[in-house]
Each structure stands twice: as C-alpha cells, then as structure tokens.
C-alpha cells in the first residue's frame, strides 16, 4: 500500500508468475510450460543476420511480416490477425475491447472455475464482472454450461490451464452460436499439443463473435521473445487496433517480428518439436500413473497430477524444489491437491520420475 498509488493500484492483486531461477542456479525447470527445445534454426539465422542499426527506427505498428506469416499458416487474411507483446498483452487488450465494465452492465464474463489465473486479474483490474462456471467431473469444460446463461462475454482456455483438458471445435461452435451478441474468446496457448490437433480458427467463417488468441511462447520456443497474436473477424481485429493505439502503437519490436515470422514459417521443425513433447508426455503420464498418481489425459505440454494417497501435493512440490526440480503448485482450494508439471526433455523427465519414485518410497517408509 502506498499513499502515492491510486485506489486501483492499491487494490490490485497482480498475477504471480512461476518461479524463475536465479542466474547460475542449475535446476530442472518444469514450472512455467516453456518448450524444452531451442527455437527454429530459421529463427536463429534471422538473429545472426539482423542489422542492429535497424533498431534506431520504430517497428512496423502492425507487425506485417509476422502477420503475413501467421495468415499464410492459418489460411486467413492478414487483416484478420493482430500481434502483441505476448499473448498476455493480447488477452488484456481483448478484455478491454470486448467486455463491458461493471458500471455499464449487470452482465458478467463467463470463465471456467479453474482456468488461467490471469483472467481474474484482468477482470478485477478492468472492472469487469465475472461468473465462474464449475468444471464437470474429470475437470471437463462442458459447452452446455455456457449456453443460455446471460453474459457480456465468454473466455475459455483450450486446452484449459492448469487442468490440461480440451474441448472440441464443435463444442466451441455451440458456445458461439449460443451467445451471438457476445465475444467468445478462446485462448489456444497450448492448442498445438493436442492429439489430434484442432483449432477454433476453422470456425471463423461462421462465427463472427469468435476471437482466437495464440502465442509463440510454447510450441515455437519463443517465451523470451514475447510475441502473441489474435485471429478473428476484421471487425474484432479493428477493435483491438483501436485499443492498442490508445495504449502503445508499437507492441512488437523489429527483431521480434522477424524472428517470430521465421519460426512460424519453419513448419517442419515446429512439428518435430511437438511430436517429441507429446511422446515424452505419454511416457511421463504412464510412469506417474504406475506410481499411483491420478491425472486427466493431457492435451497440453504439461500434466496436472494428483499424488497418491498419503503424499501431500505441497510437500512434494517443496521436496522436489529442494532437489533442484521446479514444478508448479497452486494453493487455490479445489486444485491444491495437484501439481502442474511441464514436459521437458526425455532426460529431464527421467530425472524427474526418478526423484518422484524416491519421494513416494520415502513416504511409504515413514
């Protein structure tokens, strides 16, 4: 609290990101859903050849080179793509652009009860009413729970975080059709890791109220670059541009635009990385289940696992951290009996499983 802060900042409850190790600290980092593999060779080539003198000039406001690459990859028009400084900024602009403040409406934005923990931060910071929709058994988002419920917007992460479950494009179609006067925001940060892969982008021709938000942080290994994007109708994209240009007309820098464009174009490398992660995910799920852990089948690059009876999730998180293995633990009631575990390399996950086996054995002996 500070007398120099305004009321809004004094009352803010900021998002808390996953722990970042200190420089030189050697850990196995499985807590922030980063990609364990390096960025595309094409992206690295851009970095090596970039003329630093170009940084004296402002970047292209729209990020045309990157937007063109995304439009080509997704089969949409460039005018249907919006780029921002990471998907978090894009999501923040979506909340400001599409969802009404509470003083202007009695309606709420609908979100799953357990989902990306930045959503309630946005809602409170921008003064937007929210209604949390409980998950069904198995941590499933059920489309029927969002149909017929008055709202001023709907936000669903698909696959959902931290639960790792996904819903079908058919379910998303039902949700969009059920609220034709509201924007349905589908956060596809982890969509590429679903097997089989589906994207709501395919619904855009028939769902003008749909906005899909994506990122280069996860499947493209560019979390440190901060480039995210939205794909939607031209009408919705124009609204995002109005919000952006009322805040920051240059959200993505010159170097980031070029590197991200190259990564999107390197389709073969992108697909190879995803296949490796999905294979390692299957191994990790099988090993944990053999130890008595329970978890839904993951559609993301992480798993959400409940330790076997007699092992406390928070204690396991602390013990793994002491071993130099970082995973994510949420104190939130309802999910505080689980750990979110990012999928790393085969070697990292083998080390993780070995550590968990020791912890399980120690717990049985005590």
pLDDT digits (tens, 9 = 90+) for 108-135: 999 999 999 999 999 999 999 999 999 9
Phi, psi of 65 (to 5 degrees): -60, -45
Confidence at residue 19, expressed as pLDDT on a 0 to 100 scale: 87
* Mean pLDDT computed over 273-295: 98
User: Is the backbone peptide bond immediately before 224 cis, with ω within 30 degrees of 0?
Assistant: no
3-class secondary-structure state, position 339: strand
Calpha distance 335→17 (Å, rounded): 17
* Mean pLDDT computed over 207-229: 98
pLDDT digits (tens, 9 = 90+) for 141-173: 999 999 999 999 999 999 999 999 999 999 999
- Show the tokens assigned to 278: 């999905």
* Mean pLDDT computed over 227-241: 98
Calpha distance 29→50 (Å, rounded): 30
- Out of 123-127, 254-258, 292-296, 362-366, which region has the weakest mean confidence (pLDDT)? 362-366
Calpha distance 295→306 (Å, rounded): 6
Confidence at residue 278, expressed as pLDDT on a 0 to 100 scale: 98
Confidence at residue 84, expressed as pLDDT on a 0 to 100 scale: 97
**Computed from CA positions of residues 336, 17, 131, 115, in that sequence, does the dihedral angle turn out positive or negative?**
negative
Q: Is the pLDDT of residue 366 over 80?
A: no
> At the top level of CATH, which class does the domain 7-38+268-365 belong to?
alpha beta
Confidence at residue 305, expressed as pLDDT on a 0 to 100 scale: 98
Calpha distance 148→178 (Å, rounded): 7
pLDDT digits (tens, 9 = 90+) for 30-63: 999 999 999 999 999 999 999 999 999 999 999 9
* Mean pLDDT computed over 275-298: 98
- Within 13 A of 93's CA, how many CA atoms are on the CB side? 30
Confidence at residue 68, expressed as pLDDT on a 0 to 100 scale: 98
Confidence at residue 137, expressed as pLDDT on a 0 to 100 scale: 94
pLDDT band at 92 (very low <50, low <70, confident <90, very high): very high
- Residue 241: count other Cβ atoms within 10 Å of its Cβ: 15
Question: Where do the structural domains in the chain lie, given as residue ranges?
Answer: 7-38+268-365, 49-266
Domain 49-266 in the same topology as domain 7-38+268-365: no
User: Is the backbone peptide bond immediately before 196 cis, with ω within 30 degrees of 0?
Assistant: yes
pLDDT digits (tens, 9 = 90+) for 319-348: 999 999 999 999 999 999 999 999 999 999
pLDDT digits (tens, 9 = 90+) for 14-24: 998 888 888 87
CATH, range 49-266: 3.40.640.10
Confidence at residue 77, expressed as pLDDT on a 0 to 100 scale: 98
pLDDT digits (tens, 9 = 90+) for 194-214: 999 999 999 999 999 999 999
Question: Which of 131, 129, 122 has the alpha carbon at shortest distance from 104?
Answer: 129
User: Is the backbone peptide bond immediately before 45 cis, with ω within 30 degrees of 0?
Assistant: no
Q: C-alpha angle with apex 52: 50 to 55, nearest 5 degrees? A: 115
Distance of CA 263 to the CA centre of its chain: 18
- Show the tokens assigned to 296: 């839904």
């Amino acid at each position: 609290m500070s007398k120099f802060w305004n009321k809004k900042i004094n009352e803010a409850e900021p998002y808390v990101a996953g722990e970042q190790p200190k420089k030189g600290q050697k850990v196995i980092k499985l807590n922030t859903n980063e990609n364990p593999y390096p960025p595309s060779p094409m992206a690295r080539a851009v970095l090596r050849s970039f003329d630093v003198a170009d940084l004296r000039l402002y970047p292209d406001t729209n990020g045309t080179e990157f937007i063109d690459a995304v439009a080509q990859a997704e089969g949409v028009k460039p005018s249907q793509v919006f780029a921002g400084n990471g998907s978090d900024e894009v999501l923040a602009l979506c909340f400001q652009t599409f969802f009404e403040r509470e003083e202007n409406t009695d309606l709420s934005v609908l979100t799953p009860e357990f989902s990306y923990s930045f959503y309630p931060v946005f809602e409170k910071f921008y003064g937007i009413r929210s209604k949390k929709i409980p998950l069904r058994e198995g941590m499933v988002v059920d489309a029927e729970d969002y149909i017929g419920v008055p709202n001023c917007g709907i936000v669903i992460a698909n696959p959902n975080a931290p639960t790792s479950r996904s819903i079908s494009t058919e379910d998303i179609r039902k949700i969009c059709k059920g609220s034709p006067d509201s924007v349905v925001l589908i956060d596809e940060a982890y969509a590429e890791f679903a097997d089989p892969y589906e994207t709501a982008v395919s619904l855009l021709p028939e769902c003008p109220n749909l906005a899909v938000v994506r990122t280069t942080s996860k499947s493209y290994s560019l979390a440190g670059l901060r480039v995210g994007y939205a794909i939607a109708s031209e009408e919705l994209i124009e609204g995002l541009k109005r919000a952006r240009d009322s805040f920051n007309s240059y959200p993505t820098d010159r170097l980031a635009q070029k590197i991200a464009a190259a990564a999107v174009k390197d389709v073969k490398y992108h697909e190879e990385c995803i296949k490796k992660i999905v294979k390692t995910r299957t191994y990790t799920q099988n090993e944990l289940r053999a130890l008595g852990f329970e978890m839904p089948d993951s559609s993301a690059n992480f798993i959400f696992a409940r330790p076997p009876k007699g092992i406390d999730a928070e204690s396991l998180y602390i013990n793994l951290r002491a071993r130099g293995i970082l995973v994510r633990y949420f104190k939130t009631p309802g999910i505080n009996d689980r750990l979110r575990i990012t999928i790393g390399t085969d070697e990292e996950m083998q080390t993780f499983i070995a550590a968990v086996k020791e912890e399980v054995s120690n717990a049985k002996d005590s």
